[in-house]
Structure 1
């Protein structure tokens, strides 16, 4: 194991998930403080996700077709610079039309970073630089947890945007210092291949993508206005911050022991467990009568998304060859950051405008359960085809 590279990747995950905390868990409170309505917020989050769906696969195709290889590190750095500019523009609090354009660009730049950070690990691993990904991802969860607790105490939500800019700058410096790693060139025989060909060759990946999209629509819908769930039972922004902190903190034990779990249970079964408990968590959020119950529901993040964050990268590494690693990881990112986030955001904004948080959580649960069912069916079919 390259200790220097491991340390740098640990810090990379730690800083990234603090940025992610700003752009996901606290983006709705920020936009609410900036004066936007539920429908406008849902629209902004939806268009941000659409930008990710449209442009991130295009970035990957550009990477694969470059005659001169481009370091993934440099691509991430470029996305970070753009994200820094966009954050500064959002902090100014422009009118909705300008904010609409900003959030499209967020989808192209900021949302794309996650998949490429995961792809860094996959490519390092294929090149013989072994990194303990679950541990690094666990540190990301820890930073998310601690950050959520303290961010929840900030009285003025837009101040979080200032912290976001500082964190992006630190990430930029780090990613430029790390050892460059390049997307492996696809040989001529594969040059004409596309996502459809890859999914035909690896059908379980297709079921995984569909399941991810459905489950994360539910997760996104339940998460966008989770602060309203806390307020509906008498909670405060601080309670919400604590709830997010609990949700992230319980991911840490899973990250630490993930490799052991995977050896004993297998990556496919772990993903089934993940999708099942993700739906259980949303069910408990829906039924919660008070703040304590909401906090208890967050504990199920441990076996839900906690397994997914560590497991989806291992899933790709296990069933997909190196030359398709970035493409496969990008498709997963498009499903949960793009498709799911887009549809989930628009639906959640519309439902909140038309009804209330309880109806929103009910619909969220249905989507999440459908995702678990799709993956279960996919694994059954896979077993029948490959007895």
Structure 2
């Protein structure tokens, strides 16, 4: 059954909406959930770190697997299975008490399931585009930002009125809907063997095939190893390093942001409002990057992202009232808001089509996995040693370092002669 591009875009829009809605539970309010169960700041840091670092290993494997089987196993079914798995773990999270070993196991499970979903959903849009179906990723991501914004406010009110105990069940409802929506995504599979055969038959029939054309075909069709991508695409490698450091700073500045609000006399409601402001600020980012993409190199947009992420940590560190902390979240517009959409275009412009899923996965591994994973492990320890504001200053320094790394990235060129279409 053939589906229109409009119908596909609507379904992909809702896929992003449901994922980022569920992420309100699994990302935005996880610190509060763990605090309500009696876990200490160091334990929370370790649990978040394990979740993210386990996701690193699994994301590399699932990314390579998805690339190899993209013509035989629809990616939408991988997304559905992982979503269902996250739903089962969410029930266990709701039932669990202050049991560190059990929570450690659950955190590992969330790393394998929920943390892995984001790069796969992002990759899905690129796979559609590479097969001639126009999917507007920027609008889908915008829908995700709006979903996060509205549900963060509602979550803050819910937690203040009804408490945190039943809050994980809200995430259960959303991940199950996500699994169902993934199954109903349109999918027209193209067998790899037929694609290769037709390209080479046509070239040989015209007697115009050359070794350069053969190499270009192989690069378009055959996925490369991670090592090959890191050595032949140095700009992409530098992008991964800069992204890792930037997300370390992001994690240092957000893991215990709720305590910044409570220290200034605020509550979960104020925290929810700040998340709303942050997410709404991301909405114009999609329009901004579409307008500027042909005018400003995507590499320099990444420098802009790192600069505004530095401001986003710096301002709350020295703020003396809640309003200033909330206002600082608008830096997200030219910070991570620009980064999320920009990273997709960066991958498309710097890697072969056959490595799109793997490239997206590597970015997620570098950011959510290694960057936030390492930061999550140390943030509780750093806070215990030098205090909450010392932790915020550490995040500011990490973001400032990422500016330097991204500037260095702008000077690098890919060794591989292949260029994207």
Distance in 1, Cα, partners of 2:284 & 2:398: 27
| Corresponding residue to 2:118 among 114, 122, 146 | 114
2:325 equivalent to 1:294: yes
Matches within 5 A, 1:207-226: 207-226=238-257
2:166 maps to which residue?
Answer: 159
C-alpha spacing 1:248/1:311, structure 2 compared with 1 (3 Å): same
Change beyond 3 A, Cα 1:66–1:100: same
Q: Deviations over 1:346-377 (max 9, x none)?
A: 11111222332100100001111111211111
Q: Would the aligned equivalents of 1:274 and 1:307 in 2 still touch at CA under 8 Å?
A: yes
User: Residue in 2 aligned with 1:382?
Assistant: 413
C-alpha displacement at 1:169, in angstroms? Answer: 1.1
Of 110-119 and 20-29, more deviation after overlay is shown by: 20-29
Q: Determine the structure 2 residue equivalent to 1:315.
A: 346
- Runs of 4+ in structure 1 off by over 6 angstroms are 181-184, 186-192, 383-386
Q: Judge which range, 189-198 or 80-89, deviates more.
A: 189-198
SS at match of 2:73: coil
Partner SS state of residue 152, structure 1: helix
Take 2:399 and 2:168, find their aligned partners in 1: how far apart are those partners? 30
Deviations 1:306-333 (A, max 9, x none): 1011111111112222100000000000
Q: Distance in 1 between matches of 2:399 and 2:41?
A: 22
Q: Give the SS at the match of 1:354.
A: helix
- 1:84-133 CA-to-partner distances (Å, cap 9, x unmatched) read 11111111024110110110111111100000000001111111111111
Alignment of 1:85-164 (within 5 A): 85-94=88-97, 95-154=99-158, 155=160, 156-164=163-171
Alpha-carbon distance in structure 1 between the residues aligned to 2:276 and 2:370: 26
3-state DSSP class of the match of 1:112? helix
Which has the higher mean CA deviation after the structures are superposed, 376-385 or 41-50?
Answer: 376-385
1:277–1:301 contact (8 Å) kept in structure 2: yes
Give the SS at the match of 1:69. coil
State the TM-score, normalizing by the size of structure 1.
0.94
Secondary structure of 2:401's counterpart equals helix
Alpha carbons 2:51, 2:109 under 8 Å: kept: yes
Alignment of 1:1-387 (within 5 A): 2-66=5-69, 69-94=72-97, 95-154=99-158, 155=160, 156-180=163-187, 193-382=224-413
- Counterpart contact for 2:234–2:412, Cα < 8 Å: no
Larger radius of gyration: 2
Q: CA deviation at 1:65?
A: 4.3
Aligned-residue offset at 1:384: 12
Distance in 1 (alpha carbons) for counterparts of 2:268 and 2:109: 28
In the TM superposition, what is the alpha-carbon distance from 1:35 to its structure 2 partner?
1.2
User: Equivalents in 1 of 2:316, 2:225: separation in Å?
Assistant: 40
Q: CA-to-partner distance for each residue in 1:253-300, whole Å, 9 max, x for gaps?
A: 112343112122232222221111111111112121111110111111
Q: Distance in 2 between matches of 1:335 and 1:124?
A: 24
* CA distance in 1 between partners of 2:116 and 2:190 (Å): 16
Structural RMSD (CA): 2.3
Do 2:41 and 2:380's aligned partners in 1 also have CA atoms closer than 8 Å?
yes
Q: CA deviation at 1:148?
A: 0.7
- Give aligned pairs, total: 386
CA distance in 1, matches of 2:358, 2:262: 41
Which blocks of at least 5 consecutive residues in structure 2 are unaligned? 197-216
Q: Secondary structure at the match of 1:32?
A: helix
SS at match of 1:265: coil
**Which is worse superposed, 191-200 or 204-213?**
191-200
- Paired residues of 1:48 and 1:103 also in contact (CA < 8 A): yes
Gaps of 5+ in 1: none
